[in-house]
Amino acid sequence: MNENKSFFNAMTILGILLAIGMAGAAFILGTQAKRAVIGQQSITVKGLAEKPIKADRAEWTIHIAVSNSTQSGALVAAADTRAVVEAFLVKQGFAKESLSVDVETLQPHYVDDYINDRYRQVQKGYEAHQNLRVVSKDLGKITAANKAFLQLRADNHPVEAYPPNYLVGNLEEIKMSLIAEATKNARTRATEFVKQDGAKVGVMKSARQGAFYILPVGRNTDGENHYGGVYDKSTIDKVARVVVTIVYNIE
């Protein structure tokens, strides 16, 4: 009788120990599973950074287009007009040695003619084309020369000036600094999203840089999709902007 009672007590204790062990194992496995699930959770956010910048140099192109009955006459006319443009630029304060001059190009000159009750194009001589280019860090001088250029057109010289391109020299440096700021902004946004649930933002899983924008002041990119970005060259004062997309683990 005593042996049966001892056996029963021993089995009872063994059952209790097994139950405790299974409960502990279940708790440990449950905790590890929870951590594994959390570790697999992630959040995707966009980070934005922007700052005002200024152009530090300008490029300005003047185009010559003349026509003549002969090829040699067209080349002479182009050379005469080029001399007028060079004199104008020197008067505006640009050194002649700083000018970049493209090689002349020749092509047939066509005009519309009305023959036998219909229009057609007829060759009438040749036309010569040539570009002169000025690059300067004196943006005010470029702007002033562009305004004064109207007088050459008023004097009936066959020339045309393209709008100046206002350029930024240290674009790579600007881009890298904005990427760093946009990354900080992305983490701040991710933290705000998850803190209500008591979670924390973990390590970065992946990151992708979006388009890099150089925009006129006051313009935004809402609703626009420009692959590779936008580089405004029409204004001196600009805004540089970059967007990054980052995926973080949730802890």
- Consecutive 10-residue runs of the chain (251 residues): their mean pLDDT? 51 52 43 43 92 95 96 96 95 90 94 78 93 94 93 92 94 94 93 84 89 86 61 94 92 85
pLDDT at site 74 = 96
- CB of 197 closer than 8 Å to CB of 180: no
Task: Please identify which residue in the block is written with the tokens 């300008």.
Answer: 58
Its pTM surpasses 0.75: no
pLDDT at site 5 = 52
The radius of gyration computed from the CA coordinates of the chain, to the nearest angstrom, equals 37
SS3 64: strand
Phi then psi dihedrals of residue 14, to 5 deg = -60, -40
pLDDT at site 228 = 63
d(CA 186, CA 208): 12
pLDDT at site 220 = 67
- CB of 248 closer than 8 Å to CB of 187: yes
Other CB atoms within a 10 A radius of the CB of residue 137 amount to 11
E strand residue ranges, the chain: 42-54, 57-68, 99-101, 105-115, 118-136, 159-161, 165-167, 201-216, 229-231, 237-250
Take residue 25 and report the two structure tokens written for it: 């194992």
pLDDT at site 40 = 53
